[in-house]
Chain A
Amino acid sequence: MLKNPAFIEKHELTKFDLQDIVSSLEDESKREVLKDKALLMDKLHFKNFDIRRLIKELPGEEAKLEISELYQLSSYDLADVVSTFCYESKLQMIKQEPSFNKNDKIKILSSFTGKELSDFLVENKEIYKENNIFPYEIVKELNSKEQKDFVTQLDELDLEIKEKRKIIIGLRDDVKQSTDTTNFSKELKTAMSMPTKNGMIIDLDLNRDLEDYRGLDEIIRINPEQFTKEQKNKFMQLCDICPNMLVMSALKRGGSVELCSTANEYKEAEEWISSVINNLNPDYSKAQKMAVIDHAIGKKISYSPDFDTEVFNSWDCRALYKIISSGYGVCNGIASVERCMFERAGIECEMIGSENHSFLKVKNIELPLANGETIKGNTIVDPTWNLGRHRFDARPDNFCISYEQARKNDIDNEGKDHKCHKNDEYLQDTTLNLDEQSLRGLFASVGLAHEDGNFPAVDLLEKSEEIHETYANNLNEDIKQQFLLLAQTCPEFATCQNSTMMILGKLLSHKNLDFNKCVTERVFEKQDERKSPVLYVYIDSDKIGKKFFVADKNEGQFVELSQEKFEERFDCYQKDLELTNGVKPWETKEQDKKEINLATTSGTEVDMEGRE
């Protein structure tokens, strides 16, 4: 029947019907059918999890392993199969199977009975300690019956009291309710009274003695975003008591995705946020406060320079407190930092997403105009696109702009619309646009622009121009002095790579620097296991040849390397190379230096030839 497609079609048998048929076979027949991988996978379209379920039904561990190997099950699926083995075989597999990770091993261990688990914890301490597995991680996965059995033996187990407390906290609610705590120690009774969700403490009782939480770091997950000032102060104390607990932040307000930062990262971030907010002049208008906050974020945070590479961590660069602590983030993380700070300053805003970007819509804001009038409505602030501007105290082109202006800013020099701010549904009422003169006035009013309305970047750019003029006949010295100027203006330039790339685009595009090619990009040091990004500049010039400059994070300056040394030490990210068919930026052909109108010259030559 299984091998007869006409029969299957005639009786309209579904995949579930076919599985039931295989499942109903006698042991030996079932084993034979499972050996026919082509039949099950290619013809009957079974998936690995269907196969896994059928393998678990086979008698004999040897047969199960044989078929599992035939289908090359994932370690997760194999762990599920091993969960049906006897106690000794499970132990043997945990010790010997190299593909099992920590979670696979917990899965197998949590298939023990309560009694087996307590025996395991006594007799095999080295196994769970070597694998960095905590007993509570196994116990919380047991079903209610096995948890109840286990708890009756908890008192006799040779475990630290903090470990026992974590086990108690991780018990299922029905187990907690039915457990007799009469003979429990005070610590265990306290643990039993702590409210939990899925075995984790997610709601803190800040009125209780914070010492009750000591040692429970691994099972605490708190989101303090909505805490009051007093609650935050208490929570800061808890960070010292439980330095290894995780502090959560929501990716989107009201959303289910929460991201982790450490307690230390939270403390550092909270102290910085408080210092910015507390230093706001109470007499400032909301618009003035927005200017100060947007500028402070630009000075503190840089766009993640490893974005779109194989080492990029998409969670870390979106976790609110981690971004502030590390100084690196991507758009929706940075927008959430600004949202958090705007809200603390009493500014109503909402995070808006397009298909490839995130930014803020500020609502009902009053903006002062240079002519003395005030306009009120909704506007856009894009903190991420302002990062490079603020880092070098230049004019922020994405501060209080209308939707129309934001969409204009999406179009690059070549006319391509990147649609970064496109969201007609949420932004059609976002019409407030602060004109240039009013923007200058606003930033001047909070000391972030000169009194004449110029932003401080004027000093940098004018000095840069002077250097270009002074060293017009000495390219090497011009470049060297430009780099020195950059380092003086922004000593941390090597660590805020993307912001630096932005300003280098300006400093190195002068007419005197008649380069064939100039590239500012990122590479990583081959010896660096983390593959941290390193900013470099590559120049190809007829006058000075090929030059490689690397931004040295320790020295805080550009260091020149020969091409040989550069290629020996650094490499491009695989993901970057995929975009250029494996060609490195310094391996591409030089751009045409002279702007020759080939159409005219070659055409003339052919015309002449024809007459001849």
Chain B
Amino acid sequence: MNIIDKVVCFIRKVWSKQDIKTIEAPKQVKYKEPENVLDKYVKVTLPTTPESKKKKVETLTFSGDGLGIQKDIHY
């Protein structure tokens, strides 16, 4: 089979209706969540601690020499 035949075969396969499977509609679930769960979930998932940052050496901050304000030392 040459390359053209292969391409034609592939396109047919893709577009052929026989190859398409229908997805069944979901069955209705009778499960009901307790009323307070959603609230509880929302409350807890709200971040309660500051986002972790890259650890930095803590030092003083001075407007005078820029300590604690200036970016890293570079060469």
Spell out A's residues near B (CB within 8 Å): 303-304, 307-308, 330-331, 356-357, 382, 384-385, 387-389, 392, 394-395, 397-398, 409-410, 412-413, 418, 420, 454-458, 461, 498-499, 501-506, 508-509, 515, 517-522, 576, 585, 591-592, 595-596, 598-599, 602-603, 606-607, 610
Contacts and interface: CB of A to CB of B under 8 A. Distances in A.
A130 B66 CA distance: 47
Given A502-B65, A506-B73, 16 more contacts: A308-B62, A330-B64, A394-B75, A413-B56, A413-B71, A420-B63, A456-B75, A501-B59, A502-B73, A515-B55, A518-B55, A518-B58, A576-B60, A596-B52, A603-B41, A607-B41
Contact of A595 (B45, B52, B59): B52
B67 A610 contact: no
A554 to B, nearest CB: 24
Interface string B8-50: 0000000000000000000000000110010011001111110
B65 A303 contact: yes
Contacts of A388: 65-67, 70, 73
A398 B64 CA distance: 13
A341 B71 CA distance: 28
A42 B66 CA distance: 47
B74 A397 contact: yes
Contacts of B57: 504-505, 508-509, 518-520
Contacts of A598: 47-49
B5 interface: no
B49 A522 contact: no
Contacts of A603: 41, 44-45
Given A518-B57, A598-B49, A610-B37, A392 B69 contact: no
Contacts of A389: 73
B73 A394 contact: yes
Contact of A307 (B45, B52, B64, B68): B64
A585 B60 CA distance: 11
Interface of B: 33-34, 37, 40-41, 44-49, 52, 55-75
Nearest to A499: B65
A521 B59 contact: yes
Task: List 7 tightest A-B contacts by C-beta distance, closest first.
Answer: A303-B65, A610-B37, A603-B45, A458-B75, A595-B52, A385-B66, A356-B63
Contacts of B62: 303, 307-308, 498
A592 B41 contact: no
B73 A592 contact: no
- Interface of chain A, main secondary structure: mixed
Contacts of B74: 394-395, 397, 455, 457
A66 to B, nearest CB: 50
16 contacts: A303-B62, A357-B63, A357-B64, A388-B70, A397-B70, A457-B74, A458-B75, A461-B75, A498-B62, A509-B55, A509-B56, A520-B59, A576-B60, A595-B52, A603-B44, A606-B44
Contacts of B34: 610
B17 to A, nearest CB: 40
B44 to A, nearest CB: 5
A475 to B, nearest CB: 14
Contacts of A595: 52
A592 B44 contact: no
B65 A610 contact: no
Nearest to B72: A506
Nearest to B58: A519
A512 B60 CA distance: 24
Contact of B69 (A387, A420, A506): A420
A487 to B, nearest CB: 18
Contacts of B46: 599
Contact of B45 (A517, A519, A599): A599
A40 B57 CA distance: 57
B59 A519 contact: yes
B41 A412 contact: no
Given A501-B59, A504-B57, A602-B44, A384 B73 contact: no
Given A518-B57, A592-B52, A599-B47, A397 B71 contact: yes
A503 B73 contact: yes
Nearest to B50: A592
B30 to A, nearest CB: 14
A509 B69 CA distance: 16
Nearest to A522: B60
Contacts of B52: 592, 595-596
A498 B62 CA distance: 10
A461 B73 CA distance: 10
B46 to A, nearest CB: 7
Nearest to B46: A599
Contacts of B55: 509, 515, 518, 591
A603 B45 CA distance: 5
Given A331-B65, A599-B46, A385 B58 contact: no
Contacts of B68: 412
Contacts of B33: 610
A385 B65 contact: yes
Contacts of A522: 60
A303 B49 contact: no
A424 to B, nearest CB: 18
Given A357-B64, A395-B74, A461-B75, A410 B58 contact: no
